[in-house]
Amino acid sequence: GAGVSQTPSNKVTEKGKYVELRCDPISGHTALYWYRQSLGQGPEFLIYFQGTGAADDSGLPNDRFFAVRPEGSVSTLKIQRTERGDSAVYLCASSETSVSYNEQFFGPGTRLTVL
Amino acid sequence: GNSVTQMEGPVTLSEEAFLTINCTYTATGYPSLFWYVQYPGEGLQLLLKATKADDKGSNKGFEATYRKETTSFHLEKGSVQVSDSAVYFCALSDRSSASKIIFGSGTRLSIRP
């Protein structure tokens, strides 16, 4: 079956612009996670959805970052007034439930470059 | 808070050598432990996991044992292949933190033919 998909695969934008990154999880997975991976580092947690609601957004770095999952499937990560420090690979993952031992399946990521 | 510390890379070995990548963790609860792998040009994949103390996770010839007394989850393989060249991430997930995964910084492994 299809895995987690993310679009676009690459996004180049200018400082100050608004961007949206999309994640399409595996069908039927209720838990969805966003992570950010900077060069040479491990992924860092941003936000977690259980169904339509954001159950934990403690990893969002500031109020320029926002994410939605209105129908409990596709999710969009939105970044306002982008800064050069936002440049990273944004990863989405989904799992059947939020139980800690469940495998999270990762998408290929969106590489964001802010000039 | 929860954290993972793993051996810094890069690690370069010859084919058929023995591999160990060290990983230790700090957690307030009883985490599940994972090794993820990122092959060149590909996304993160789960390599193996262990959900309780003394469990051994294994896959593709790799093994790691959940050691609660030393808070460790070292990755080992008896005979590496060129195709094992990748970046390896040790990670943990704890139900008290909404099952988000905390990753180490990654270890780049290169295998020479």
Mean pLDDT across B86-92: 96
For residue A4, the distance in angstroms to the closest alpha carbon of chain B comes to 10
Contact B47, B96 (CB under 8 A): no
Residue B108, pLDDT > 80, answer yes
* pLDDT tens per residue, range B3-39: 999 998 899 999 999 999 999 999 987 899 999 999 9
Q: What is the reported pLDDT for A1? A: 57
Residue B76, pLDDT > 70, answer yes
Q: What is the reported pLDDT for B1? A: 84
Chain A interface test: which of B33, B73, B101 (most A C-beta within 10 Å):
B101
Q: Which residues of A touch B5 (CB under 8 A)?
A: none
CA distance B58 to B90: 14
- Say yes or no: A102 contacts chain B, CB-CB below 8 A: yes
Chain A interface test: which of B7, B100, B108 (most A C-beta within 10 Å):
B100
Q: What is the reported pLDDT for A38? A: 94
Mean pLDDT across B67-86: 97
Contact A52, A69 (CB under 8 A): yes
| Residue A113 three-state SS | strand
Q: What is the reported pLDDT for A46? A: 96
Chain B residue closest in CA terms to A50: B98
* pLDDT tens per residue, range A46-99: 999 998 988 889 999 999 999 999 998 999 999 999 999 999 999 999 998 766
Cβ <8 Å between B93 and A101: yes
- Up-side HSE of residue B11: CA atoms within 13 Å toward CB? 22
Q: Which residues of B touch A98 (CB under 8 A)?
A: 98-99
